[in-house]
Amino acid sequence: MRLDKFLANNTQYSRKEIKRILRADRVTLNSELVRDPAKNIQPDSDVRLDDLPVEELGAGYFMMNKPLGVVCANSDPEHETVFDLIEEPLDKLHVAGRLDIDTTGLVLITGDGKWSHRITSPRFKCEKSYIAILSDTITDRMIEKLEQGVVLEGESKRTAPAIVEKIAEDEIRLIITEGRYHQVKRMLAAVGTSVTELHRERIGKIYLDNALQPGEYRPLREEEIAIA
Ligand code: URA
């Protein structure tokens, strides 16, 4: 890989800034000053910027506590996006399972497409756990229907069986393994009620870190990446 590309991929600097940095004699390659942005580097090359080693960042894996009013799109003309809240030198990040603008809680963000596919594809039956506050009292009949699977408006295939725990008269924990468009809200609509608040607390075995305030994020730990 070219030196300027490696530096741009693994630091906060753009390719243009890297060129200036190289001209300022701030980079060494295997202990030699280097100025040529096109210089080829190998996986075992020792690249230093201001004498600090530049490490390969990899794909990047993060969890965020998504606040209300923020969208999970890459860009949006009107609203703040989760990527506006992330300060990382990685430019190819995506959300593994979006949340609606009015849903809060756990969002996983990565540059690893294979990893996010395992989370989002219904084939892998990765559980997503939501807390939903409802506009009505939940009945046993509604719970039964949700657990059996419901037909969403405009669709013909029943949703996969869900797990429902009643927390209060108007509050449930709903665990699903698919990620259809607005799925939780549409499932609740299909049984005759509506969602007034929705929060995601878990994806697979990854729980939202309750030290994260709304809008905060942190890198995933090795074991979290492995168990997703
Ligand atoms: N289901 C919804 O309806 N909305 C979300 O944000 C997530 C799941």
Q: Cα(101) to centroid of ligand 1, in Å?
A: 9
How remote is the C-alpha of 112 from its chain's centroid? 11
pLDDT tens readout for residues 15-56: 889 999 999 999 999 999 999 999 999 888 999 999 999 987
- What does the pLDDT read at residue 57? 73
Residue 94 contacts residue 114 (beta carbons within 8 Å): no
Q: CA-to-CA distance for 169 and 133, rounded, in angstroms?
A: 9
Give the residue from 7, 25, 28, 26 showing the smallest Cα distance to 16.
Answer: 7
Q: Cα(199) to centroid of ligand 1, in Å?
A: 9
- What does the pLDDT read at residue 89? 67
pLDDT tens readout for residues 81-139: 999 999 876 668 999 999 999 999 999 999 999 999 999 999 999 999 999 999 999 99
pTM greater than 0.75 (yes/no): yes
- What does the pLDDT read at residue 11? 82
- What does the pLDDT read at residue 13? 84
pLDDT tens readout for residues 164-204: 999 999 999 999 999 999 999 999 999 999 999 999 999 99
- What does the pLDDT read at residue 87? 86
pLDDT tens readout for residues 139-164: 999 999 999 999 999 999 999 999 99
Q: Which atom of ligand 1 is nearest to the CA of 182?
A: 3
Catalytic residues: 100
Q: Which atom of ligand 1 is nearest to the CA of 186?
A: 3
Domains and their CATH numbers in the chain? 3-53 (3.10.290.10), 58-125+209-228 (3.30.70.580), 127-203 (3.30.70.1560)
Q: Cα(11) to centroid of ligand 1, in Å?
A: 34
- Taken in order 71, 73, 75, 78, is the CA torsion positive or negative? negative
Alpha carbon distance, N-terminus to C-terminus of the chain = 31
